[in-house]
Amino acid sequence: MAKKRGHGEGSIYRRASDGRWVGAVTLPDGKRRYCSGRKRAEVAAQVDQIRQAIAAGLPVQQSPRTVGEFAAEWLAGTVALRRNPNTVKTYTIMWNRHMEPALGKVKLSHLSVRQVQQFLDGKLAEGLAPRSVAMMRAILVALLKQAEVYELVGRNVARLTEPPEIGEGMRHPLMPEGLPRFLQAVSGHRLEALYLVALGAGLRIGEALGLCWDHVELGPGMIRIQHQMEYRGGRYLFTEPKRRASKRTVPLPGFAADALRRHRIRQETHGLQVPPMPGWESLVFRGSEGGPIHENVARSGLRRICRQAGMAPMTFHDLRRSYGTLLNHLKVDPSTIQALMGHAHVATTLGVYTSPVPEDQWAAVRSLHQLVTR
């Protein structure tokens, strides 16, 4: 008499009717789960995935939906409701252009680590930037995390893939020795206060351009970040900050507070000649016509300052990186830097927004020498 298969044991056979391979696994409740594919290896991987889920005590739900169908529901629901419009747009474009053609027709419950890894590796081979491929992986991880919550998949296979290596890129944060040169270069520029406040408070460009006088206390020298400025659909809007932690109060160093006070006096004097546009009266930084300043104007102005001073070209975000780097150089506690910069995780603060200062590296080497030779 043939021995009855135990829970979690599987069989694989070729179906005579169409030649496809079929896998069958006995579930803990006694029911049989079936999967099929054109290649035996593909079905074996699916059987393996089901068996691993059973062994780990994870739910094994059969989802008739494809990855593309679930992604459409996820983008229109969870993403649209919880992410800002720019993120929704980026996710949607990335999905439709790259991910839907490759993974959209795969059954959600059949998606494997191997399939996702091959997709990511293929995109790198096509010449896509590692950062873009890393974003695709992050999208898949978030998508399958939601599917896990709904118990449509037993595990998040995207999380098990190898992420692409992302280089440092062209980052040029200010080092301590470069500060006098920068301060001299920016002095007298019409956007001097904007750049010094961004440097002195570690602001994102939208936070700086959306700063209002209602959220500035010139006496003690501090600002409150409550929203950010975005240019969307041909008009400027105040929108919610990037993260919940982004809403914060930031004390200003003296050089930034002084620049803001001088800017207020100039703005009040200049405002008699160019009054603010209706609706933008409270903006701290206004353009030549009295309205908001476009991001591109702020960025190009900073590049021009660096070029004229013979400095490495800086992006506006490099001012934010400079803030983190300089505070880290001053041995400020990482959790304090995290709070000042409005990061959700301290790992982001230390891993992305601080750069090694050569002076600190030499000091570390000297300390090591003294320890060894004492």
User: Using 50, 70 and 90 to split pLDDT, how confident is the model at 67?
Assistant: very high
Residue-wise pLDDT tens digits, 156-171: 999 999 988 876 556 7
Residue 7: pLDDT band (50, 70, 90) is very low
- Encoding tokens for residue 367? 């300390």
Asked whether residue 63 carries a pLDDT value surpassing 80, the answer given is no
Give me the architecture of the 176-361 domain, per CATH: Orthogonal Bundle (1.10)
CA distances from 286 to 119, 225, 272, 294 (A): 46, 17, 14, 10
Q: Where are the alpha helices (DSSP H) in the chain?
A: 40-55, 67-74, 80-82, 85-94, 100-103, 113-125, 130-149, 179-186, 192-201, 205-209, 254-270, 295-308, 316-329, 334-341, 346-352, 358-373
Q: Output phi, psi for 325, to 5 deg.
A: -65, -45
Q: What is the distance between the terminal CA atoms of the chain, rounded to a whole angstrom?
A: 80
Contact assessment for residue 11 and residue 22, using Cβ atoms and an 8 Å cutoff = no
Every domain of the chain with CATH number 1.10.150.130 lies at: 67-160
Q: Which part of the chain has CATH 1.10.443.10?
A: 176-361
- The pTM score is 0.66
DSSP, res 176: G
**Please, what is the average pLDDT of the chain?**
86
Rounded Cα distance between 19 and 17, Å, is: 6
Q: What is the mean pLDDT of residues 292-312?
A: 93
Partnered with residue 103 across adjacent β-strands are: none
pLDDT digits (tens, 9 = 90+) for 206-227: 999 999 999 999 998 999 999 9
Torsion angle of C-alpha atoms 361, 363, 364, 369, degrees rounded to 10:
130
What superfamily does domain 67-160 belong to in CATH?
Answer: Tyrosine recombinase, N-terminal domain (1.10.150.130)
Residues sharing a CB contact under 8 Å with residue 322, sequence separation 6 or more, in sequence order: 173, 174, 199
Asked whether 358 and 173 are in contact (CB, 8 A), the reply is no
More confident residue, 326 or 166: 326
Residue 237 in this model has a pLDDT that exceeds 80: yes
Q: Is 245 exposed, middle or buried (0-12, 13-18, 19+ CB in 10 A)?
A: middle
Q: Which residue has the higher pLDDT, 279 or 187?
A: 187
Q: Tell me: the pLDDT tens digits for 137-163?
A: 999 999 999 988 887 777 899 999 998
pLDDT for 60: 67
Q: Which long-range contacts (CB under 8 A, 24 or more apart) does 131-139 make?
A: 131/166, 131/169, 132/94, 133/164, 134/163, 134/164, 134/166, 135/90, 135/94, 136/94, 136/98, 136/99, 137/161, 137/163, 137/164, 139/91, 139/94, 139/95, 139/99
For residues 185 and 311, the answer to whether their CB atoms sit within 8 Å is yes
